[in-house]
Amino acid sequence: MNTKRNIKAMLAVFTALFVLLAGYLVYIIGAYGPYWFASPYNTRVTNQKNTVWAGSILDRNGVVLAYTNADGEREYAAEESLRLATAHVIGDNSGQTLGAEALFAKYLLGFEQSIGEQLSYLVSGEQRRGKDVSLTIDSALCTYASSLLDGNDGAIFLMNYKTGEVLACTANPAFDPARMSEYTTGEYALAEGSMVNRATMGRYTPGSTFKIITTIAALRYLPNVEERAFNCDGPLVFEKESGKLVSGVNPYDEEGELYSKYVLLRDHEDAVHGTLTLAEAFAVSCNHVFAEIALEIGEEKLRQTAESLGFNGTFLFDELVAYAGSFGEAQTDFALAWSGVGQHTDILTPIHLCLITSAIANDGVAMEPKLLLQVSGTSTSAPVADFVPEAYQTLLKGNEAEFLASCMRGVVEHGTGTQAAVSGYSVCGKTGTAEISSAENALSHAWFTGYVDSEAFPYAITVIVERAGGGGTIAAPIAAKVLEYAIVCSQ
Amino acid sequence: MRKLRHARCASALGVVLLFILAAFSLLAFHEGSFDAGALLFGGVVLLTVLLSYCLLACFAAHADRLLMLIVCFLYALGMVMQYRISPETALHQLIMLGIGLVGMLLMLILMRKPRIFRILSIPMALLSLGILAALLFVGKESGGARNWISIGGILFQPSEFVKVALVFLLADALTDHTHVKDLLPILLFVMVAISLLVLQRDLGAAMLLAGVFLLVFFVATSNIRATLAAMLLGGAGAYASYLLFDHVRARIAIWQDPWATYSTSGYQIAQGLMAIASGGLWGLGLGLGSPKMIPAYHTDYIFAVICEEFGIVFGIGVIMLYLLLVVRGVLISLNAQDRFSMLAAFGATALLAVQTFVIIGGVIKLIPLTGITMPFVSYGGSSMIACMLLVGILEGIAAQSGTLLEDALIRAADETLSAAQEDATEMECEEDAQ
């Protein structure tokens, strides 16, 4: 009978709908739950502070960064430099930032305590406390890294590329979590943008560090590109009106109609690199070659490559809030050429660049950046949440990662990033000098991203110093010092 | 076999009773001081469950006991949540549950003669439309919808009962006719009812009515083309209302990003999501959440409160229980002994299924939120009574088809027996002859 058959079909539909309900509930809470819970709007967290004393936040070596004192007040580390260097990771007690105070409130404020545990507090009459949380960061390393920024705005992010442990995450300007009330009363002034963690949420023009992405696209779409000989013979010339690449115009003829009709894509200090391979072009960061590669690949494929590396997407990490980079439209040759060398509308965040770098270091697999090392036990329960590394995504194929690694080794050995070298270790990296203003003598953002090629010290680092100058001269030496310090510290 | 099945139901009944006992014991100690009222209330709920289960077993030996058990668990869960939120409203809801159970039994008995509802179909249709139309003039407004009516000081939501009437009307019309041109009266009824509901801004009920109509229509006629056409028409209507009405547009925008308008219109959904997220896998524990931060916490948003305090795992369990309820309903429909009963049982099941999907889906942001109740659990007298009437329809049909099946089996057994006896006598005769 048809009706019976239809009823059975509808039962299948109902079943599918209810399974969808359950599946969606799991998905949405799995993906967004931690953020919703930590949201400053979630007054459950603030209310819980009235009855529960928050646990301490420690760094990986047991240094106490935040604790609740005997009067039930929240206190932070005594040294101001330490508070500022770790401010964004720790967060604040008033729920204005998404640091550990908010993201790990579940443990700190005892939301996960069982009814049995809660009853034992009730019975003993003891003040209910949340658990202590140990973070993966090394606070001394953070303080040292922050001091190297030397008062400049910028950020430094260092993670273990084999486990995803974040060892350093520091950003300038920073707020002081111990002075939140003084900021509201106006006693202390808060520098603009201090509440934003630039290491994870700072959206910057990537400059030449984007050539990593262009290189990956070249490997994917241009066969045998590794063996090709490129020729850099000076600036590329584009028509001003249409943005089309033109040939036969002398880019040095400044007398004629050059500047009225054409626009140029120059290399750093107008260098002419001559004939070079892709790896050599990468080492000297040749704009000419990478602009040509971008034009040859085309906008769509360059975008696809960028998106496969996380651009225009969302990062849903469990333990930290991070923005992904973005790759905008490039409708003319001129725009696409600049896109290929990390200008135009390209955007990257330091953590995103560090994630791509760590994938190169780790055979193409990006580990999920993690901040939570351990949650302590209390008198009635055992420690929970011991650190378990998790792969986030395989961003590159093994051979892609291998080629990129050799390119990046060249940068530090004989290219633009020689100042990033750490004696006794093999460092691979890429510099970037992002032009953010066309004004005369305006300083660029200085970038360096790289890693130590070492089993014992698998560290990937990304440094950005805002409006400070060249990546090779400003950012690379800072990266070298931080890596050296990290190696010494963990020995 | 049947004994075994009932034995399993009995142990499941034990689980339900244990849940009630544990939950109300916990609530008794909730505020740090002992609340005897909670135990008393829990005792009454416990007795109600026992009574409704036993009465059903007495009145109708062939009724679906598993279905009844699921319903018992769901309303018990509702009672726990309502008491935890506010003992006064819980008491009110308990009274409504009592009325609902009486209604269910009444329906169970009436369903022995399904013809009654077929004869009454025209008065039922006129009464439904009459009340819905009257609401436009005398209705009381609540939550943006003008869908309440006050009779003797008690507030009713007539749309809940129109849903029950729809189940009978659809089954009646589609039992004899499957051609669209013969179905004009019922089409007209549904369209007028939906228009009236939209005018009252009761979009949830309108959507529900439309959904159930489409489901039953398709099942009965197998007319895919007409069903798709109706869906397209409905889609066009929804799109038109999106373009025409600000409040519909606002609702879609809130659904897409409740956080953008957190301080105003997105507040409810965002609060619900934060509540679910705060509960985590295993919940904060009964009595330890903050349900009152969510608007409509005891009606539309009860699922978020359940997830906050009992956890997502429990929430998924509740969804699966509803699914099991739907499966039982469909089985009752498939086993029905006549077409009217089959369509009525399917209609009642479809109504419960769609209503559950729409409200839970709205709360977890799978679909835009429309304010309707979660069957058996949400606070709301009319909804509770209407849902119990639907259970009465299902149980009545189950009991009826069981009895008919049993009669048929006995008759068949008698025939085989007498045939065998005849054979035996014949054989004896033959033996004698030899």
pLDDT tens-digit readout, A418-458: 999 999 999 999 999 998 877 777 889 999 999 999 999 99
CB contact under 8 A, A7 and B333: yes
CB contact under 8 A, A6 and B222: yes
> Is the CB of residue A453 less than 8 Å from the CB of residue A428?
yes
Between B273 and B148, whose confidence is greater? B273
Mean pLDDT to the nearest integer, A237-259? 79
A236-250, A267-281, A386-400, B382-396 — which one is most confidently predicted on average?
B382-396
How confident is the model over A341-372, as pLDDT tens digits?
999 999 999 999 999 999 999 999 999 999 99
Share of chain A above pLDDT 70, in %: 98
* A185 CB burial (10 A radius; 0-12, 13-18, 19+): exposed
In angstroms, rounded to a whole number, what is the distance separating the alpha carbons of residues A350 and A445?
A: 12
B381-420 residues touching A, CB cutoff 8 A: none
How confident is the model over A288-347, as pLDDT tens digits?
999 999 999 999 999 999 999 999 998 988 888 899 999 988 889 999 999 999 999 999
Q: Tokens representing B125?
A: 């249709």
Distance of residue A303 Cα from the nearest chain B Cα, in angstroms: 26
B269 close contact with A: CB closer than 8 A = no
Give chain B's end-to-end CA distance (angstroms, integer): 44
Q: Which residue of B has its CA nearest to A40?
A: B274
Distance of residue A110 Cα from the nearest chain B Cα, in angstroms: 10
H helical segments located in A165-286: 180-185, 198-201, 211-221, 258-261, 278-284
What DSSP element (H or E) covers A462?
strand A459-465
Task: Provide the mean pLDDT of chain B.
Answer: 87
Mutation for testing the B interface, residue in A15, A29, A49 having most B CBs under 10 Å: A29
Q: What is the pLDDT of residue A126?
A: 79
Q: Which residue has the tokens 């130590």?
A: A452
Between B138 and A194, whose confidence is greater? A194
pTM of the predicted model, to two decimals?
0.77
B334 close contact with A: CB closer than 8 A = yes
Q: What is the pLDDT of residue B276?
A: 92
Nearest to B274 among A20, A36, A106 (CB): A36
Between A215 and B246, whose confidence is greater? A215
Q: What is the pLDDT of residue B152?
A: 65
Here the contacts of A343-348 (C-beta below 8 Å, separation 24 or greater) are: A343/A205, A343/A207, A343/A434, A343/A435, A346/A205, A346/A206, A346/A210, A347/A203, A347/A204, A347/A205, A347/A206, A348/A203, A348/A204, A348/A205, A348/A206, A348/A209, A348/A210
Bridge partners, A374 (sequence order): A134
Name the phi and psi angles at A193, rounded to 5.
Answer: 80, 10
Q: Residue A115: pLDDT above 80?
A: no
Q: Residue B275: pLDDT above 50?
A: yes
Q: Which residue of A has its CA nearest to B363?
A: A25
Give the CA count within 13 Å in the CB-facing half-sphere of A218.
29
How confident is the model over B146-174, as pLDDT tens digits?
677 776 667 778 889 999 999 999 999 99
What's the per-residue H, E or C state across B337-384? CCHHHHHHHHHHHHHHHHHHHHHHHHHCCCCCCCCCCCCCCCCCHHHH
Of the candidates B92, B85, B84, which has an alpha carbon nearest to the alpha carbon of residue B29? B84
> Is the CB of residue B95 less than 8 Å from the CB of residue B82?
no
Q: Residue A242: pLDDT above 90?
A: no
Provide the pLDDT confidence category of residue B142 given band limits of 50, 70 and 90. Answer: low
Chains A, B: CB contacts under 8 A, how many? 123
> Is the CB of residue A89 less than 8 Å from the CB of residue A169?
yes
Interface ipTM above 0.85: yes
Q: What is the pLDDT of residue A401?
A: 95
Distance of CA A209 to the CA centre of its chain: 13
Q: What is the pLDDT of residue A1?
A: 59
Q: Residue A382: pLDDT above 70?
A: no
Q: Residue B3: pLDDT above 80?
A: no
Name the phi and psi angles at A62, rounded to 5.
Answer: 90, 5
Q: How far is CA B101 from CA B57, B199, B247, B381, B388, in A?
A: 14, 32, 37, 12, 6
Q: Residue A2: pLDDT above 80?
A: yes
In angstroms, rounded to a whole number, what is the distance separating the alpha carbons of residues A375 and A214?
A: 41
Q: Which residue has the tokens 């018990």?
A: B76
Mean pLDDT to the nearest integer, A397-412? 94
B190-209 residues touching A, CB cutoff 8 A: none
Determine how many CB atoms are found less than 10 A away from the CB of residue B11.
8
Provide the pLDDT confidence category of residue B105 given band limits of 50, 70 and 90. Answer: very high
Distance of CA B394 to the CA centre of its chain: 10
CB contact under 8 A, A22 and B350: no
Q: What is the pLDDT of residue B144?
A: 60
CB contact under 8 A, B339 and A11: no
A24-38, B126-140, B286-300 — which one is most confidently predicted on average?
A24-38
Q: Residue B181: pLDDT above 90?
A: no
From A90-94, B109-113, B284-288, B427-431, the region with the lowest mean pLDDT: B427-431
Share of chain B above pLDDT 90, in %: 45
> Is the CB of residue A14 less than 8 Å from the CB of residue B353?
yes
Q: Is there a cis peptide before residue A458, judged by omega within 30 degrees of 0? A: no
Provide the pLDDT confidence category of residue B366 given band limits of 50, 70 and 90. Answer: very high
From B7-11, B126-130, B191-195, B206-210, the region with the lowest mean pLDDT: B7-11
Which amino acid belongs to residue A305? Answer: T
Q: Which residue of A has its CA nearest to B263?
A: A41
Share of chain B above pLDDT 70, in %: 94
Q: Residue A132: pLDDT above 60?
A: yes
Q: Tokens representing B101?
A: 């159970």
| A164: region left, alpha or beta (phi > 0 left; psi from -120 to 50 alpha) | left
**Helix, strand or coil for residue B402?**
helix
CB contact under 8 A, A29 and B277: yes
Provide the pLDDT confidence category of residue B387 given band limits of 50, 70 and 90. Answer: very high
Q: What is the pLDDT of residue B1?
A: 42
In angstroms, rounded to a whole number, what is the distance separating the alpha carbons of residues A156 and A170?
A: 5
Q: Residue B433: pLDDT above 80?
A: no
Q: Which residue has the tokens 């002081």?
A: A176
Provide the pLDDT confidence category of residue A244 given band limits of 50, 70 and 90. Answer: confident
Handedness of CA A388, A393, A395, A399 (dihedral sign): positive
Mean pLDDT to the nearest integer, B127-156? 76
B218 close contact with A: CB closer than 8 A = yes
* A375 CB burial (10 A radius; 0-12, 13-18, 19+): buried
CB contact under 8 A, B277 and A8: no
In angstroms, rounded to a whole number, what is the distance separating the alpha carbons of residues A419 and A409?
A: 12
Between B322 and A117, whose confidence is greater? B322
Distance of residue B434 Cα from the nearest chain A Cα, in angstroms: 52
Task: Provide the mean pLDDT of chain A.
Answer: 90
How confident is the model over A52-101, as pLDDT tens digits?
899 999 999 999 999 999 888 899 999 999 999 999 999 998 878 889 99
